[in-house]
Amino acid sequence: MFRKYLTIMSLFTISFYSLYSQADNIFSSFFGKKPGVAPVEDLLYLEECGVCHFPYQPGLLPAKSWEKMMNNLSLENHFGEDIVFDEQRIRKQLLNYMIVNAADNSSFKRSRKIMKSLSYNDAPLSILKTPYIRRKHSDIPQRLIIQPEVGTLSNCEACHKKASKGNYDDDQVRIPNSKLRYDDGD
Ligand code: HEC
Ligand code: HEC
């Protein structure tokens, strides 16, 4: 009797748990509940796209942007640099990773907000050109951006201390040499 009871209880627990975690997935893909953007876990991407600057998470731009950036012609002039890949296999592997994790394929909160701020056909090559990101940075005094510790707004990590973890929360922002604190909730 007791054993039967245990079996029923554990079956109940297991099915409740799987329902619960499924519901969690459904919820987060509907409402973008996961905070920040998905952190980069792909070693090839970190190696190839993290040498000259912070390895921007693919969840910061839509797939269309990455496709545009990664075609051979664009790679010849990537913000003034020639970063054409000798091996097409590498280029394709990177692009595939970027598309799968692009903002329009992500349920993370910041990716959803970036997508919401863009029109259907927009494919900016710069994260700072997306309306959401531009708006979030429009009040920062120029002198705090051009100072040596930062240099340019593209240098996300200079102010977002947990940027490499995909965390851009305003309570983790510290602009060097500034006492400004930001906390507007979203
Ligand atoms: C040879 C150096 C170099 C390599 C390698 C490189 N980049 Fe860049 N990238 C730049 C420069 C320079 C800029 C201009 C912004 C800056 O000053 O950091 C830039 C800017 C960007 C921006 C725009 C950032 C913004 O301000 O919104 C993105 C996105 C980007 N790169 C993605 C990539 C990806 C993806 C790869 C790998 C396929 C890559 N980069 C590899 C030099 C490089
Ligand atoms: C000069 C410092 C600085 C740099 C560099 C910078 N940011 Fe920010 N960022 C801020 C500040 C300050 C805020 C908070 C603005 C507010 O809440 O009004 C912010 C807000 C954000 C937010 C919204 C966070 C929230 O909680 O509302 C995102 C997302 C973000 N930044 C992404 C980026 C990315 C991606 C880069 C690099 C391409 C970047 N930032 C570079 C200072 C910076």
**pLDDT band at residue 179 using 50, 70 and 90 as cut-offs:** confident
Contact call for residues 172 and 161 (beta carbons, < 8 A): yes
- Closest ligand to residue 150's CA: 2
- Pull the structure tokens for residue 164: 């490499």
Please state, in angstroms and rounded to a whole number, the distance separating the CA atoms of residues 70 and 165: 24
Q: How far apart are CA 61 and CA 44, in angstroms?
A: 19
State which ligand 1 atom lies nearest to the alpha carbon of 54: 18
Taking only the tens place, the pLDDT of each residue in 115-136 is 999 999 999 999 999 999 999 9
Place of tokens 């990455």: 66
Amino acid at the residue 85: F
Residue 61 in contact with ligand 2 by CB distance below 6 A:
no
Q: What is the mean pLDDT of the chain?
A: 87
Model pLDDT, residue 24: 40
